[in-house]
Amino acid sequence: MKKVSDYFGMNVFNDAKMQERLPKPIYKALRKTIENGEALDITIANVVAHAMKDWAIEMGCTHYTHWFQPMTGVTAEKHDSFISPKGDEVIMEFSGKELIKGEPDASSFPSGGIRATFEARGYTTWDPTSPAFVRDGTLYIPTAFCSYTGELLDKKTPLLRSMERLSDEAVKILHLLGKTEVTRVATTVGPEQEYFLIDKDLFNKRVDLKMTGRTLFGAKAPKGQELEDHYFGAINTRVAAYMRDLDEELWKLGIFAKTKHNEVAPSQHELAPVFTTSNIATDHNELTMEIMQKVAEKHNMVCLLHEKPFKGVNGSGKHNNWSISTNTGENLLNPGKNPEKNTQFLLFLAAIVKAVDEYQDLLRITVASAGNDHRLGANEAPPAIISMYLGDDLDALVHSIIKGEDYHSHKAARMQTGVDVLADFKKDNSDRNRTSPFAFTGNKFEFRALGSSLNIGCPNYMLNTMVAEELSQFYEALKNSIDVEVVAKELIKQVFTEHSRIIFNGDNYSGEWVKEAERRGLLNMKTLPEAFEKLLDQKNIDLFAKNNIYSEEELRARHEIELDMYSKQINIEGLTMQQMARKDIIPAVSAFIHELADTAVAKKAVSKQISTKSEEKLIVSLSDKLDKFIRLTDELRDEVCTASSLTDPQEEASYYQKNVIPKMEELREVGDRMEMETSQKFWPYPSYTELLFSV
Ligand code: ADP
Ligand code: MG
């Protein structure tokens, strides 16, 4: 048995290896860059590159790649070998310049019209705050990606910028409160990742899963998640072997994979890592999603990361646990024993409350995707209405502050199990509210509306930026006050009073909440095209420009890219459905009808007395449905045609959402009813029963 501690991080050029392999002054300079964001000198980069290359070659590498996160939502890489000709031989070389800068052709990555193709040059630049690692004989270097003229083309750069913004503003506030020893603040994230595992042979028989990641047809299995027997259930042998392999691969890459369990739906599982800084957590989550899929292949399974692979069973999300902590090791979202006296905590809490209220549209936008639209508000994930949950104690505290009343915090009660051999323990002060999109869970917030395939960089730079903005406003209000404590308390009261509408502790799945939220003036944007109409509101343009995250032009580009990707995805779904209908389903049902007719004729040939009523009934029923099915397939074709002929990205996306998706649903409805009436022998695809209970 290998010991985890012996191989944890073996494929990473981590701090220990840097310390061991770099001359002391170089190591120190690099640490300064990593910890304080100081610019890196090329002479230092040269030495680091050399050491990195030597280590990578020892690890069996022949290539290196700049690894980046373009707007497509999947990571990108272009491999270069280390070889450099020397006469008719080669030596292995890797310079500081190659480490720092790469030039992938940027023309094939989405830029939202920022760059014309003739200015296709793009740059990747080394992000020294996220360690390089080795995979499949290649040295991977995490990088940011931008255009020749400096516009952002990726998801990492805004995250890095937002982390710096939040740090700057939080440090200013902490200094005002007397914590002058704090020099940097980092946001931390722990993402809980849900996924499905299905058998690969079955997957290969489903063109919808292959093309779109979700089933476009498929009648409900007799058993779904009703019995709730899968959640936290015993993990079966095949899945357990997969999870073991997965953990091992992740640990080798220094990823803190910690918790694993079965989820609510059959074949659904979850993996959660120990939290780390937002930037590394994002890189690690991207890697985790890739490795989940690779390891599944080895086990002849497919890992589905789509938000809604199966109709009628819970889809997959990702909980983004987020907090802020100082370089002195203090978690700023820890309320402590007496939150009512903890001005620092209350200020940060107030900043978050104000941010979530003022930028609820951005939080909704950042989790919007074609896949996630199926989940939000469908009673399996939070609604599309953004609100926050504070738990009973904090909620009471906030309300006592608003009313100007005294507040005494409750002591955490002891949980008594009533069984002597079981130890009693302290109960958490806040119970879980599983239905809230943004819930306080003791010393962090859990943003629960993310879809499973999302790059978590996006919600995190939104959160960091909007909280940085509020803190900078707080700083302006506090900086000249003689008694900061007194003015801070007034500010906290004012903010809670003005923004308490965003706090909701009840059941977010209930119909009453939808009405109540509307009464409170909260937004309820059910779909991506609807949500994106808000992205370019002046207040959002101002937020990003003022905090140096995006220029207006870059924000417009992002707007266009996201809408375009949405339209493309629905377009592919619409085309795939038509192909399935015409090439597989219509011929299959027709053949089954033919067999029924043959049977009826054969029966009559034996004796006119034999009843053929059942065959006739089925033939009539299926023939009617088939007519309707063919008509709807034609209508879907026309709707997809109209949608794709539109040129304005917003109009096109809205057309897909309002016209194409409902048509797809209508077609599916008839298709699924035919599946229920057609012999399995004739039906061209594995059923939900097979798919969901295959591993
Ligand atoms: P819970 O059971 O309340 O959800 P866990 O301890 O299981 O809490 O944590 C869930 C996720 O939250 C894990 O990924 C964990 O690493 C992460 N987490 C815990 N503390 C923090 C923090 N301070 N910042 C960010 N994430 C955190
Ligand atoms: Mg959780």
CATH assignment of the domain containing 385: 3.30.590.10
Among 550, 582, 609, give the residue marking a domain's end: 550
What is the C-alpha R_g of the chain? 28
Pair (180, 136) in one structural domain: no
Residues with CB under 5 A from ligand 2 (ion): 319
| Helix (H/G/I), strand (E/B), else coil: 584 | helix
What per-residue confidence (pLDDT) applies to 150? 77
192 CA → ligand 2 middle, Å: 7
- Asked if 134 contacts 54 with a C-beta cutoff of 8 angstroms, the reply is no
Average pLDDT (179-199) is 97
Q: Which CATH number is 670's domain given?
A: 1.20.120.1560
Amino acid residing at 299: H
Question: Within this chain, do residues 145 and 182 fall inside the same structural domain, yes or no?
Answer: no
Binding site membership of 285 for ligand 1 (Cβ less than 6 Å): no
Domain count, the chain: 3
Lowest-pLDDT choice from 27-41, 57-71, 173-187? 27-41
Q: Do 664 and 615 share a structural domain?
A: yes
| Predicted pLDDT at 431 | 55
Same-domain status, 252 and 114: no
Give the pLDDT confidence score for residue 290 in this predicted structure. 97
Indicate the SS3 state at residue 43: helix
- Residue 558 within a domain: no
The pLDDT confidence band at residue 415, using thresholds 50, 70 and 90, is: low
**Confidence check: pLDDT of 424 > 70:** no
Inter-helix orientation angle 457-478/343-358, to 10°: 120
Sign of CA dihedral 591, 595, 598, 604: negative
Q: Is the CB of 444 under 6 A from ligand 1?
A: yes
When pLDDT is averaged across residues 131-142 and rounded to a whole number, the result is 96
Q: Which ligand is nearest to the CA of 325?
A: 1
CATH number, residue 145: 3.10.20.70
418 domain-assigned: no
Range with the largest mean pLDDT of 6-10, 31-35, 376-380: 6-10
Q: Which of residues 521, 550, 579 is at a domain's end? A: 550
Distances (CA, A) of 307 to 443, 449, 457, 632: 28, 11, 17, 26
Residue 434 pLDDT more than 90? no
Residues 541, 574, single domain; the answer is: no
Q: Is the domain of 138 the same as that of 192?
A: no
Mapping DSSP onto H, E and C, the string for 250-292 reads: HHHCCCCEEEEEECCCCCEEEEEECCEEHHHHHHHHHHHHHHH
Ligand nearest to the CA of 258: 1
Q: Which residue has the least CA distance to atom 8 on ligand 1?
A: 441
DSSP secondary structure string for all residues of 658-671: IIIHHHHHHHHHHH
Task: Tell the residue nearest (CA) to atom 14 of ligand 1.
Answer: 190
Averaged pLDDT, 488-497: 98
| Ligand 1 mean position, distance from CA 42 (Å) | 38
**Residue range 630-648, pLDDT digits in tens:** 999 999 999 999 999 999 9
Q: Is the minimum distance from the CB of 189 to ligand 1 under 6 angstroms?
A: yes
- Cβ(309) – ligand 1 distance below 6 Å: no
Is residue 419 in some structural domain?
A: no
Cα(29) to ligand 1 centroid in Å equals 32
* Nearest-atom index, ligand 1, CA of 259: 7
The reply to whether 189 and 99 lie within a common domain is no
Got the DSSP string for 7-35?
HTTTTB--HHHHHHHS-HHHHHHHHHHHH
Q: Ligand 1 centroid to 10 CA: how many Å?
A: 25
| Residue 445 burial class via C-beta count within 10 angstroms: exposed 0-12, middle 13-18, buried 19 and up | buried
Q: Is there an atom of ligand 1 within 6 Å of 260 CB?
A: no
The predicted pLDDT at position 420 comes to: 66
Place of tokens 């999947």: 74
Question: Is residue 417 a part of any domain in this protein?
Answer: no
Is 544 within a domain? yes
Note whether residue 309 is domain-resident: yes
Q: Mean per-residue pLDDT for 264-293?
A: 96
Ligand 1 atom with the shortest distance to the CA of 325:
23
pLDDT tens per residue, range 571-588: 999 999 999 999 999 999
Cα separation, 503 vs 439, in Å, equals 10
Axis crossing angle, helix 552-579 with helix 661-677, rounded to the nearest 10: 30
pLDDT for residue 430: 55
Q: How far is the CA of 272 from the centre of ligand 2 (A)?
A: 9
Which pairing describes strands 138-147 and 63-68: parallel, antiparallel, or unpaired? parallel
Residue 158's pLDDT band, with cuts at 50, 70 and 90, is: very high
Which ligand neighbours the alpha carbon of 188 most closely? Answer: 1
Closest C-alpha to 586, from 626, 633, 634, 637: 626
Q: If you measure from the C-alpha of residue 506 to the centroid of ligand 2, how many angstroms do you get, rounded to a whole number?
A: 18
User: Are residue 466 and residue 344 in the same domain, yes or no?
Assistant: yes
Would the CB of 326 count as within 6 Å of ligand 1?
Answer: no
Mean of pLDDT over the chain: 93
Ligand nearest to the CA of residue 428, numbered in listed order: 1
pLDDT digits (tens, 9 = 90+) for 296-317: 999 999 999 999 999 999 999 9
> What percentage of the chain carries pLDDT values higher than 90?
84
Q: Which atom of ligand 1 is nearest to the CA of 192?
A: 14
Mutate to test the pocket of ligand 1, among 187, 255, 275 (most ligand atoms within 8 A of CB): 275
323 in contact with ligand 1, CB cutoff 6 A: yes
The whole-angstrom separation of Cα 344 and Cα 334 is: 10
Same domain, 508 and 580: no
CA 139/CA 135 separation, integer angstroms = 7
| Full DSSP string of 380-440 | SB--SS--BB-HHHHHHHHHHHHHT----PPPPPEE--S-TTSPPEEPPSS---TT-SEEE
State mean pLDDT over 324-330. 97
Q: What is the pLDDT of residue 120?
A: 64
pLDDT at 233 over 90: no
Highest mean pLDDT pick, 112-126, 143-157, 214-228, 516-530:
516-530
Decide if 632 contacts 586 (C-beta within 8 A).
Answer: no
Residues 271 and 399 in one domain: yes
List all residues 6 or more positions away from 41 whose beta carbon is below 8 Å from its beta carbon: 29
Contacts of 430 (CB under 8 A, 6+ apart): 390, 391, 392, 393, 394, 440, 441, 442
**Does 123 fall in a domain?**
yes
Domain C-terminal end among 123, 154, 185? 154
Exposure on the CB side of residue 673, measured as CA atoms within 13 A: 14
Compute the distance from residue 439 Cα to the ligand 1 centre, in Å: 12
Q: Which ligand is nearest the CA of 429, by number? A: 1
Q: How far apart are CA 388 and CA 376, in angstroms?
A: 15
Residue 139 · residue 132 · CB < 8 Å: yes
Short-list 175, 368, 165, CA closest to 278: 165
> 321 in ligand 1 pocket by Cβ < 6 Å?
yes
If DSSP codes are grouped into helix, strand and coil, which group holds residue 656? Answer: helix
For residues 604 and 681, membership in a common domain is answered with yes
The rounded Å distance from CA 572 to ligand 1 centre is 37
Beta carbon of 138 within 6 Å of any ligand 1 atom: no
pLDDT tier at 410, thresholds 50, 70, 90? low
Q: How confident is the model at residue 38 (pLDDT cuts 50, 70, 90)?
A: confident
Check if 274 has its Cβ closer than 6 Å to any atom of ligand 1.
yes
Q: Ligand 2 centroid vs 388 CA: distance in angstroms?
A: 15
Indicate left, alpha or beta for 73 from its phi (over 0: left) and psi (-120 to 50: alpha).
left
Report the C-alpha gap between 122 and 119 in whole angstroms.
Answer: 9
Region of poorest pLDDT, from 123-132, 273-282, 531-540, 642-651 = 123-132
CA distance 282 to 266: 28
Stretch 138-150: mean pLDDT: 88
Q: Is the pLDDT of residue 421 over 70?
A: no
The atom of ligand 1 lying closest to the CA of 190 is 14
Residues contacting residue 336 through CB under 8 Å, at least 6 positions apart: 342, 345
**Is residue 500 domain-resident?**
yes
Whether 146 is in the pocket of ligand 1, judged by its Cβ within 6 Å, is: no
Give residue 451's domain range: 162-409+431-550
Give the chain's length. Answer: 695
Does 72 have pLDDT greater than 90?
no
Q: Which atom of ligand 1 is nearest to the CA of 274?
A: 16
> Are 522 and 586 within one domain?
no
Atom 2 of ligand 1, nearest CA residue: 441
**Strand partners for 269:** 195, 262
Question: In angstroms, rounded to a whole number, what is the distance separating the alpha carbons of residues 250 and 293?
Answer: 12
Task: Name the residue with the closest Cα to ligand 1, atom 22.
Answer: 323
**Residue 455 clears pLDDT 80, i.e. is over it:** yes
